[in-house]
Chain A
Amino acid sequence: MATSSPASGTGGQGVARPAFRHRHLLGISQLNQYEIVDLLDRAEAMIPISRQERKILPTLSGKTQINLFFENSTRTQSSFEIAGKRLGAQVTNMSVKTSSVAKGETLIDTAATLNAMRPDVIIVRHGASGAVELLSQKVGCSVINAGDGAHEHPTQALLDALTMRQHKGRLAGLTVAICGDIANSRVARSNLLLLGAMQARTRVVAPRTLLPRGIEMLATEVFTDMRQGLEGADVVMMLRLQHERANGRMIPSVREYYHFYGLDEEKLSFAKPDAIVMHPGPMNRGVEIDPAIADGPRSVITEQVEMGVAVRMAVLDTLLADREAQP
């Protein structure tokens, strides 16, 4: 196995690593703790590149990257685009509205068409769980899951973990409370898988209508009371509540939701004094989070965005560099 220990928090530049054994990054569920640490170490090493004046490390020069987004996401798409460009790749963005997918082409046809253009990596976001895996079976290049349905969003979990590690120096033993719409969140699933693999203590906090059956298989503890759920937490991760969930079917109103589950100063006081506040964005201020918290000193939300670029650079570099070594 790898030489670095799972709790290692240091960048591993220069250390000989075993080749990454995956062609695709489809989910955290495919990674073991050593691979997670390896990716985080590689991502940490990428951080300075984005902070220097000439933001370029051209390891992917001459490679073609396609961003194929079936759901809109300015944030994730631009993060992948910038990550690819900083590594010197040629990046093409395909959004569904301008493509033949809107004309009824199946996902598999789309995959075959794109594959024929011989890209080196396709970044895919799709509204259906499992869709990215299906596409990956039909192409000859690497595929990175940028979010599939309510299933996984692995680079988000990696960037969240990197942010936590930067602040807390470790992941093992941390108490992380993930709060909000667990039932519909791929961010929650990927984070629970990653944090579980890294021996962090995970909590989910939500009203019962937003807790899916069997969630105790993924989380250490389940809470329906926000104050109890935040008690002693090192990290408070808020999830976005889609407005359409607060239509009287799952949640009666935004007002009631904010009252019981919105993160404000009073609820946050139950967490550890040095607890950090995270959010995958985009935020609904006044729905799941008080603007004063979102923009306050304990918020690391903009730092998560910066770590996102580093993580995506590391994932691209890892998948494509290791592809190169193979015939």
Chain B
Amino acid sequence: MSKPFVIANARIVDPASNHDAPGAVLVEDGVITGITNGAPQGIPDGAETYDAQGLVVAPGLIDMRVFTGEPGHEYRETLASAAAAAAAGGVTSFVLMPDTTPVIDDGALVDFILRRAGAKASVNILPAAAITRGLRGEEITEFGLLKEAGAVALTDGRESIQSAGLLRAAFTYARNFDLPVIHHLAERTLVGDGVMNEGALATISGLKGIPVEAETIPLARDLQLAALTGVRYHAAQVSTGAAVEQLALAKRRLSTVSAGVSINNLSLNENDVAPYRSFFKLSPPLRSEDDRRAVIDGLNSGAIDTIHSGHDPQDTEVKRQPFAEASDGAIGLETLLAAALRLLHSGDVPLFTLLRAMTSRPAELLGLASGRIAVGAPADLIIFDPEFPWVVKDMALRSRSRNSAFEGARMQGAVMHTFVAGRPVFSHAATAEGADA
């Protein structure tokens, strides 16, 4: 196995234990075997030392919502290119959405993903399996066999199941196998032909709007069905203040429900769309500034549990189109931490809250041993400089697609080193940004 090493002179930040203090982390055989305050102690012979130079050492990020193009659309993204982007962004594990061609709705395909990931990917790829065959929202898949094959969760990815009866059956059967269900919220007839947040801006732009209720009506249904069935339910992504209110209310009674938010909905609002910038065409759409403030409050209050990138590679052909005709989605693995740190620097969200939503909380929801700095936990670790200034340049990104909503953005905070099970998988010094900085 790998040689033991020590990350010394670090600011260790572990949200799971509310620990934020100088110290050192010892890693042996891919596992954290020691954490000391101050100078390292009890170092085994031959251990290498990384000098963290006072930077933050945190658990590697766990991203709950990532799309790739493998299998079926490898020109958009492969598992290997997504993993490279993840490593550069400090993401050591991500939940892979089943929206591929073919759809991941069969145990053999889960197995394919795990074998491909094991052979090609530098970070942990956690496959989620489809709730319904072909993501058609009609028949449920083989939850038990999918779990045996290695699926960590059930989700229909970009699709939202419309039938309450089918959802009830899926929730009930998922509980049978103790699988979490992650569900995207979009009431199809209210979304209609809508392409951005409904309101004055959409009207002036001549674009069809998507009302807030397209999210809150399915959320209300899902929360009632979660209460009825006892399923571990995760609202894939909420974007509105009204949804945050519903979640806060539901969480008073139910410990089995949780919710995620895209970094895009925390960082951007509907004004970023103008004029017709299709890289900002997302689902859910970027909402009003009031809604953005409300989801930030929801993150701080605990109504929202997790932050994800929603990484969704789309090629130029489908993205550089008139706004209404362009595909939804933006890449985000490499910019996730930096964009999240904007909320720290703006004073909106404390560091523990941000990191918890991308480390220990996803780990709890998915039943993972990672997401914390603790003796015995996997050595999925990042070293990051919360102040490092850089500019997002699309051509420097590792994703095969270029549809970043943060293209040209000035960031404060960058990942310097990423370790997966003790293996170094990314070093900032070796990159172009590192060289010209």
B residues 189-220 in Cβ contact with A at 8 Å: 198-209
B321: CB under 8 A from chain A? yes
CB distance from B201 to the nearest CB of A (A): 7
CA distance A150 to B202 in the complex (A): 10
Contact A217 B324 (CB under 8 A): no
Contact B204 A214 (CB under 8 A): yes
Q: Which residues of A contact B322 (CB under 8 A)?
A: 107, 126, 128-131, 134, 149
Contact A217 B321 (CB under 8 A): no
Q: Which residues of B contact A107 (CB under 8 A)?
A: 321-322
Interface centre among A107, A126, A129, A152 (most CB of B within 10 A): A129
CA distance A106 to B315 in the complex (A): 13
For chain B, the bracket of interface size reads 20 to 34
A54: CB under 8 A from chain B? no
CA distance A108 to B207 in the complex (A): 20
A71: CB under 8 A from chain B? no
Contact A213 B324 (CB under 8 A): no
Q: Which residue of B lies closest to A149 (CB)?
A: B206
Contact partner of A129 (CB less than 8 A), chosen from B198, B205, B321, is B205
Contact A152 B276 (CB under 8 A): no
Q: Which residues of B contact A152 (CB under 8 A)?
A: 206
Contact B202 A213 (CB under 8 A): yes
A217 with B276, Cβ < 8 A, contacts A129-B206, A129-B324, A148-B206 known: no
Q: Which residues of A contact B148 (CB under 8 A)?
A: none
CB distance from B291 to the nearest CB of A (A): 15
Interface centre among A189, A213, A215 (most CB of B within 10 A): A213
Contact partner of B200 (CB less than 8 A), chosen from A126, A148, A186, A214, is A214
A133: CB under 8 A from chain B? yes
* 0/1 interface trace, chain B 322-345, chain A, CB 8 Å (1 if under): 111100000000000000000000
* 0/1 interface trace, chain B 300-334, chain A, CB 8 Å (1 if under): 00000000000000000100111111000000000
A residues 209-227 in Cβ contact with B at 8 Å: 212-215, 217-218
Q: Which residues of B contact A149 (CB under 8 A)?
A: 206-207, 322, 324
Residues of A within 8 A of B (CB-CB), count: 23
A151: CB under 8 A from chain B? yes
Q: Which residues of A contact B200 (CB under 8 A)?
A: 213-214, 217
B347: CB under 8 A from chain A? no
Contact A189 B199 (CB under 8 A): no
A residues 123-163 in Cβ contact with B at 8 Å: 126, 128-131, 133-134, 148-152
Contact partner of A134 (CB less than 8 A), chosen from B198, B203, B205, B276, is B276
* 0/1 interface trace, chain A 227-258, chain B, CB 8 Å (1 if under): 00000000000000000000000000000000
Contact B204 A217 (CB under 8 A): yes
A residues 87-133 in Cβ contact with B at 8 Å: 106-108, 126, 128-131, 133
Contact B201 A214 (CB under 8 A): yes
B275: CB under 8 A from chain A? yes
CB distance from A128 to the nearest CB of B (A): 3
Contact B204 A106 (CB under 8 A): no
Q: Which residue of B lies closest to A183 (CB)?
A: B203
Contact partner of B276 (CB less than 8 A), chosen from A133, A212, A218, is A133
Contact A128 B324 (CB under 8 A): yes
Q: Which residues of A contact B207 (CB under 8 A)?
A: 129-130, 149-151
A129 with B320, Cβ < 8 A, contacts A152-B206, A213-B209 known: no
Contact B199 A130 (CB under 8 A): no
Q: Which residue of B lies closest to A153 (CB)?
A: B206
Q: Which residues of A contact B198 (CB under 8 A)?
A: 213
Contact A217 B206 (CB under 8 A): no
- Using a CB–CB distance below 8 Å, which chain B residues touch chain A? 198-209, 275-276, 317, 320-325
Q: Given A107-B322, A130-B276, A213-B198, output 8 extra A-B contacts at Cβ < 8 Å.
A: A128-B324, A129-B207, A129-B276, A134-B276, A150-B206, A212-B203, A213-B209, A214-B203
* Residue contacts A-B, CB under 8 angstroms, 24 given: A106-B317, A107-B321, A128-B321, A128-B323, A128-B324, A128-B325, A129-B206, A129-B207, A129-B323, A130-B206, A130-B275, A131-B322, A133-B275, A148-B206, A149-B206, A212-B203, A213-B202, A213-B203, A213-B209, A214-B199, A214-B202, A214-B204, A215-B203, A218-B204
What 4 A-B pairs come out closest when comparing CB atoms? A214-B200, A151-B206, A130-B276, A128-B322
